[in-house]
Structure 1
Amino acid sequence: MRQEPIRPIPPGLAGRLRALPPSCGPVRLIAVDGHAGSGKSTFARHLATALGGAPVVRLDDIATHDELFAWTDRFRTEVLEPLSRGEHARYGVYDWERREFTARRELAPAHAVVVEGVGAGRRALRPYLACLLWMELTACHSWERGRRRDGPAQAAFWDDWIPAERAHFAADPSRPHAGLLVRRRTEGYEVLPGPGEACGTP
């Protein structure tokens, strides 16, 4: 099995994010959004490591077949509200093969928590975010990468997903509000100022 290439986080980014004021109770909630297949999960893992082992909430664990994007209320109740009170959050983890929630995960109110997934920068979540980062890869290139990654077995899922994602971002775009844009390079990532509110000082 080919080992995933190391894509280090740009120097200084973790320090910028750690220096931000708390946004959700004592937590600095950092969102990584972008099109499906744009590399959010990989970048979020590297970012979490750079942040000293920050926990990562994957929206793939929150969304379901029936609620690809209609998970806001559950996320608010199970994650945002407890963290905003400085309490541990507990949320269900969805199994995409069994089509049901099969586990529960506990999330401590850490100094920083990374939320990654399509829709992480949605309107309802932005008031709780310390920073919104957007993976700067076009929809077509992202979806092509995603289809290639998942293979023919997931072709039908992608056929349903793409129009749902288009509709979501048409109604509730994230990129215009991103403080930082992330571009993957051959070696590592490049982080640029975004069109939205800046995340800390350059």
Structure 2
Amino acid sequence: MTADPHHVARTVADLVHAGPPTLGTGRLVCIDGPAGSGKTTLAAALAELVPRAHVVHSDELLEGWRGLPGLAATVTRLLTPLAGGEPGRWRRWDWHADGWAESREVRPGGLLVLEGVGCWSPAIGHLVGVLVWLEADPGVRLARALERDGDYLRAHWDQWRTDESELFERYRTRSRADFVVRTD
């Protein structure tokens, strides 16, 4: 599929709204893939297209750089009440303070866009209306991440890339995606 985020967003919106609600009365789109592949850009395009779409960034659900192993449980705790028609809650990770910050709420209904590395897991597969996998050349992705965050975080990014690769291999996320999009 083309990498134009607005084109991909239109395709995803059409597909998720053509199917039945999967998250109580609402719908869920997961945008997953390795760091620097364009997930946040696609989520923004989807939120711009769909009125009242709510975007949750999984990097705000992680307990720091080594938080990927706990992410699936955190996402499940957020989504389970929503599937039952109740508000879902989560605590935001403050990367600058290196600790948990305020709690946030997601109201049931509408479209929830969950984006970020590891946002999809087999535990929530039955709740996902559309799973999009974004990818790009590893060198391109690292350059994007370092440009965004600064070269001083290179050691963290090197470990992160290992961690995300292990997670994706374990979950087989790419092979389960409804769409695979290259963004380089």
TM-score when scaled to structure 2? 0.87
1:67 aligns with 2:63: no
Instruction: Please show how residues 141-152 of structure 1 align to structure 2 within 5 Å.
Output: 141-152=140-151
Q: Matched residue of 2:146: which SS?
A: helix
2:97 is matched with: 98
**Runs of 5+ unmatched residues, structure 1:** 1-5, 186-202
Is the CA contact (8 Å cut-off) linking 1:9 and 1:46 kept in structure 2? Answer: no
Higher helix proportion (structure 1 or 2): 2
Written as runs of structure 1 = structure 2, the 5 A alignment for 1:118-137 is 118-137=117-136
Q: Which 10-residue stretch deviates more, 37-46 or 116-125?
A: 116-125
Between the aligned partners of 1:88 and 1:60, the Cα distance in structure 2 is 20
In structure 2, C-alpha distance between the alignment counterparts of 1:143 and 1:172, rounded to whole Å: 22
**Equivalent-residue separation in structure 2 for 1:171 and 1:16 (angstroms):** 27
Q: Is the 8 A contact 1:36 1:142 kept in 2?
A: yes
Secondary structure of the structure 2 residue equivalent to 1:119: coil
User: Is structure 2 residue 80 aligned with structure 1 residue 81?
Assistant: yes
Which piece of structure 1 moves more, 95-104 or 64-73?
64-73
Aligned sequence identity (%):
32
Matched residues in 1 for 2:16 and 2:7: separation? 12
Query: What do you get for the CA RMSD once the two structures are aligned?
Result: 2.0
Per-residue CA deviation, residues 41-90 of structure 1 (Å, 9 max, x unaligned), is 0110111121223001110110112422322222212x111101111111
In 2, are the aligned partners of 1:34 and 1:40 still within 8 Å (CA)? yes
Deviations 1:3-49 (CA, angstroms, capped at 9, x unpaired): xxx95335554233222211121121100011100010011011112
Encode CA deviations 1:140-165: one digit per residue, 9 max, x unaligned.
Answer: 43233212322212222212211111
Distance 1:126 1:138 in 2: 26
Whole-angstrom CA distance in 1 between matches of 2:139 and 2:104: 33
The alpha-carbon deviation at position 181 of structure 1 amounts to 2.1
Aligned length: 179
Is 169-178 or 37-46 further displaced after alignment?
169-178
- Listed as ranges, the gaps of 5+ residues in structure 2 are none
TM-score scaled to structure 1, two decimals?
A: 0.80
Residue range with higher mean Cα deviation, 9-18 or 55-64: 9-18
Q: Which residue of 2 aligns with 1:8?
A: 6
Task: State whether residues 28 and 129 of structure 1, in contact with CA within 8 Å, keep that contact through their aligned partners in structure 2.
Answer: yes
Once residues 18 and 145 of structure 2 are traced to their aligned partners in structure 1, the CA distance between those partners, rounded to angstroms, is 34
Output the amino acid matched with 1:126.
G
